[in-house]
Amino acid sequence: MKLGNLTFNFIVALMITAVLGAPVIAAAGIALVSGTVLSFVPQASGLLMAGLQKEVWTDILLENFYPDGSFIKDARDMSNLVEYNKINLAEVGASPDVLIDNTSYPIAVSSRTDIPHDIALKTLDTTSTVVRNAELMELAYDKMASVLYGHKQELIRASIKLAAWNYAPLSDSAFTPVLTASGDVANGRRKLKFEDVLKLFTAFNDMDVPADGRILVLNPQHEADLILQDLTMYKSVMTSGQLFSFQLRRTSATPKYNASTGGKCAFGAVTANTDTLASFAFFKDEVMKAMGTTDMFYTLKDPANKGDIVNFQQRFIALPLRTKYFASIYSPKE
């Protein structure tokens, strides 16, 4: 029995005897007996401790989940609307007409038909990792903390990849333009030029997209194309963080497009020879993200693996709110 535990037991017992009016000697007896009994209780009241540990790790997982400077932070966060890992939205119907100098009455009446959307959040599961007891005994650093940090990073990458794919249009349309890069050919593909981004700027202007809130997410290869085209101009762009009204972001998780058809490749599809890289753009008020439940699953002291086994499950979704005001630029192959 530890002296600190005995002291604590004595203080608590003293308070109890004071309330009951019992002699002080009774407090010493209670402290000694309770301390002796509790010393034989197995420490595997670790079920409670494990629960507390689980809450600690899930909180750490959620802390700063969206990295600073990531395009996903620009999207509207609708996590507060999530119920039972679902989110209920409605696509607003047609807007009313405006009559100028009207002289005809009664004014026409129309109803607005909104389209409901019941969206189930995606389930992101990490595979299990075992931290063996022998490793914990031998290593000088906290391997479990390092392992759980790795799970967090992979969940972040998966979320960013899913959002990038969903924020890019499937194919070219009036409100979801898919443009082509027109630069010189290098490594079998057309390079991105500043003139191509200017075309994207014009397309957003034609759609009357507000200038404040336009986001351009560059693939690193496309960003390198712009740097090689005009380093001086790109330096000035980086100083302001803007290019033709677009706030610049970057990620290697941009979706692939079919270099021949201009259609977006399926999410998670095996890379084909016809695939090519792309960058994408969106208006931040037209895309959303939402997080649901976060759970940690674990087996402590697994007998077969002689260690602790952990994995995580995160419910998440990132989508455009309507099929408009987002675009892509892909590099044709030559």
Measured between alpha carbons, how far is residue 174 from residues 12, 177, 258 in Å?
A: 75, 6, 19
pLDDT at position 54, please? Answer: 67
pLDDT band for position 108 (cuts 50, 70, 90): confident
d(CA 169, CA 234): 27
Residue 68, pLDDT > 60, answer: yes
Give the pLDDT mean for 239-253: 94
pLDDT at position 227, please? Answer: 96
Residue 25, pLDDT > 90, answer: no
Give the pLDDT mean for 211-219: 97
Measured between alpha carbons, how far is residue 136 from residues 42, 68, 150, 151, 309 in Å?
A: 21, 33, 17, 18, 13
pLDDT at position 44, please? Answer: 40
Residue 223 · residue 331 · CB < 8 Å: no
pLDDT band for position 135 (cuts 50, 70, 90): confident
Give the pLDDT mean for 74-91: 89
At CB < 8 A and 24+ separation, what contacts does 252-256 make? 252/219, 252/220, 253/157, 253/160, 253/161, 253/164, 254/164, 254/168, 254/217, 254/218, 254/219, 254/278, 254/279, 254/280, 255/164, 255/165, 255/168, 255/280, 255/328
pLDDT band for position 288 (cuts 50, 70, 90): very high
pLDDT at position 5, please? Answer: 53
pLDDT at position 132, please? Answer: 87
Q: How many residues does the chain have?
A: 334
d(CA 22, CA 240): 76
Q: Does the reported pTM lie above 0.85?
A: no
| Domains of the chain from N-terminus onward | 3-39 (no CATH), 62-84+122-334 (3.90.1690)
pLDDT at position 66, please? Answer: 84
d(CA 52, CA 54): 5
Residue 99, pLDDT > 80, answer: yes
Return the H-helix or E-strand segment holding 149: helix 143-166
pLDDT band for position 334 (cuts 50, 70, 90): confident
Give the pLDDT mean for 94-111: 88
Residue 323, pLDDT > 50, answer: yes
pLDDT at position 48, please? Answer: 37
Residue 20, pLDDT > 60, answer: no
Query: What are the tokens at 224?
Result: 């390198």
Write the DSSP symbol of residue 227. Answer: H
The overall average pLDDT reported for the chain is: 84
pLDDT band for position 52 (cuts 50, 70, 90): very low
Of the two residues 143 and 74, the one the predictor is more confident about is: 74
pLDDT band for position 18 (cuts 50, 70, 90): low
Residue 16, pLDDT > 80, answer: no
Using the structure block, give the residue that is written with the tokens 């044709």: 332
pLDDT band for position 232 (cuts 50, 70, 90): very high
pLDDT at position 188, please? Answer: 93
d(CA 331, CA 257): 9
Using the structure block, give the residue that is written with the tokens 């996590």: 79
pLDDT at position 9, please? Answer: 53
pLDDT at position 14, please? Answer: 53
User: Which region among 114-118, 158-162, 163-167, 320-324 has the lowest average model confidence (pLDDT)?
Assistant: 114-118
Q: pLDDT tens digit string along 153-169? A: 999 999 999 999 999 99
Angle at 229 between CA 224 and CA 231, to 5 degrees: 80
pLDDT at position 64, please? Answer: 73
User: Which region among 79-88, 132-141, 233-242, 262-271 has the lowest average model confidence (pLDDT)?
Assistant: 132-141
Residue 280, pLDDT > 50, answer: yes
